[in-house]
Amino acid sequence: MSSRPAAGGGRWVEVDPGRVARWVEGFADRHGPPTTTVQGYGLLLAAPDGATVELHTPPGAPATSDVPDFVTAATTPRRIGLLLARKGAVAVGVAAGAELVVSKVDTRYVQGRTAAGGWSQQRFARRRHNQAKAALGDAAELAVRLLLPEVSSLDALVCGGDRRAVDTVLADRRLAPLAALRADRLLDVPEPRRAVLVDAIAGARAVRVLVRDPVPS
């Protein structure tokens, strides 16, 4: 379970689906039995002492009206497409529940940046741009070959890496059916490798929880 500060106050916590029920029980023990209201993102739990929790529905899970149904939906195995792109590397895969059942990683060389004022700087920049463009073109072809045939069986597509690179890949018109399944979350991942793709499954399935503690009186 990871935690990080949230913009506007509070903290984001990522909870494994199998631990959500126990996590909510712990929140109720600490702050009192909460009331539950349905929100566009999932469920809002408001405790008597002013503490609140937002339970965000994980990608591909259906909307629910109470905590037991939310837990059931979050823990039900889903088939999720994964697309990770950063610089000249891309990784695509399909996860069935927590298992990676389809995967492919491709790496294409893209030159790093040089210090300003180096020789033939504009020529170098054009070469780097062309290399990056070609790499993302290869990434789109990979998604067409591996993910597009799976699209009818996917509950969601979760992306990670560099947002601009991901957007460029999904701008390919052939991938429109896949882009339609794209979840809001963008996973923060290093340069895609198979191990990174495997680790991304947990982030794709996690329940994101926004916790705000009571305001001191």
Residue 121 neighbours by CB distance under 10 Å = 12
pLDDT at position 118: 54
Strands lying side by side in the sheet with 79-86: 99-107, 89-96, 79-86, 156-161, 182-187
Cβ neighbours for 29, distance < 8 A, ≥ 6 positions apart: none
Where in the chain are the domains? 2-77+206-212, 79-201
The CATH H-level superfamily of 79-201 is eRF1 domain 2 (3.30.420.60)
pTM here? 0.85
pLDDT at position 99: 97
Q: β-pairing, 156-161 with 79-86?
A: parallel
pLDDT at position 83: 96
Written as tens digits, the pLDDT of the chain (217 aa) is 667 888 888 999 999 999 999 999 999 999 999 999 999 999 999 999 999 999 999 999 999 999 999 999 999 999 999 999 987 788 999 999 999 999 999 875 344 444 455 545 555 445 544 444 545 667 889 999 999 999 999 999 999 999 999 999 999 999 999 999 999 999 999 989 999 999 999 999 999 999 999 877 6
207 close to 20: Cβ distance less than 8 angstroms = yes
